[in-house]
Structure 1
Amino acid sequence: MSKIVTLKKNYEFSRVFNKGSFYVGRHITVYVLPNKSPANRIGISVSKKAGKAVVRNKKKRLIRESYRHYQQYIKNGYDMVIAARGDETVPKYGSLLKEFKYLLKKLQVFDQEKYHCLKEL
């Protein structure tokens, strides 16, 4: 399993927020901006409105794992910021996976052909 490359600097997050396209879901919002590198970079943002530190960290872990689950099906060359919505409830992993896949399809960064080919094996 390859290591996830992350966005670390504030200006990197700001660039994706301001110039990227986005879709809003029930639990998360996904922002996507093409970059010039062959790899994807990901940033996770959870506001303090989302609850105390334990809740925020659980949301981050769930988001990171859902990204890891679909990482091989995401087209290369994108900066992506996944922001958790500001309610204090922690979503179930299955519903978060389903929503993440739906938002990736809406943003046209999900590779359907690769997904179906690997599912048939």
Structure 2
Amino acid sequence: MKKTIALKENHEFRRLYHRGTSSAGRHLVLYCRKNRLGHNRLGLTVSAKLACAVKRNRIKRLFREAYRLHEDEFATGVDLVLVARARAVGATYQDIEKSLLRALRENKAAAAQP
């Protein structure tokens, strides 16, 4: 079982936005960059412009759960940031999961090598 730690520092998010590779699904954008830590770090971004706090927190819970269940499909030793799009508001878990897996397939740096 892989270990994933939360990404919290602003400068780490900014580094991923500028130097990482990105791929987009319908409900989210996935940014990925290798780290030299041997474990993954996951950051979640849901803008206050999208919805009230209750809905933003629900989106983050759905993102976390979708990532947790598909953690084995991600490469080891990467920083990941999931950015919610406006369509994520009111989306079902299945929508979020499908969008995450699509973004993962498009992003070679994030996908685990078979």
Matched, 1:61 2:61: yes
- Extract unaligned runs of 5+ from structure 1: 114-121
Residue 6 of structure 2 is matched in structure 1 by 6
The structure having more radius of gyration, on CA atoms, is: 1
- Extract unaligned runs of 5+ from structure 2: none
TM-score by length of 1: 0.85
Return the structure number with greater strand share: 2
Q: Using CA pairs under 8 Å that are at least 6 residues apart, name the structure with larger relative contact order, 1 or 2.
A: 2
Call closer, same or farther: CA 1:91–1:75 in 2, change over 3 Å: same
Residue 96 of structure 1 is matched in structure 2 by 96
User: Could you tell me how far 1:81 is from its partner in structure 2?
Assistant: 0.3
User: Could you tell me how far 1:2 is from its partner in structure 2?
Assistant: 6.0
Is the Cα–Cα contact under 8 Å of residues 23 and 107 in structure 1 kept in the other structure? Answer: yes
Residue 117 of structure 1 is matched in structure 2 by none
**Could you tell me how far apart the structure 2 residues matched to 1:34 and 1:9 are?**
16
Is the Cα–Cα contact under 8 Å of residues 49 and 87 in structure 1 kept in the other structure? Answer: no
Q: Secondary structure at the match of 1:47?
A: coil
Map 1:80-119 onto structure 2 (within 5 A).
Answer: 80-87=80-87, 89-108=89-108, 109-111=110-112, 113=114
TM-score by length of 2: 0.90
Identity across aligned pairs (percent)?
35
Q: Secondary structure at the match of 1:110?
A: coil
Is the Cα–Cα contact under 8 Å of residues 44 and 82 in structure 1 kept in the other structure? Answer: yes
Is the Cα–Cα contact under 8 Å of residues 26 and 87 in structure 2 kept in the other structure? Answer: no
What is the one-letter code of the residue matched to 1:97?
E
Return the structure number with greater helix share: 1
Q: Secondary structure at the match of 1:5?
A: strand
Call closer, same or farther: CA 1:86–1:68 in 2, change over 3 Å: same
CA RMSD, Structure 1 to Structure 2 (Å): 1.7
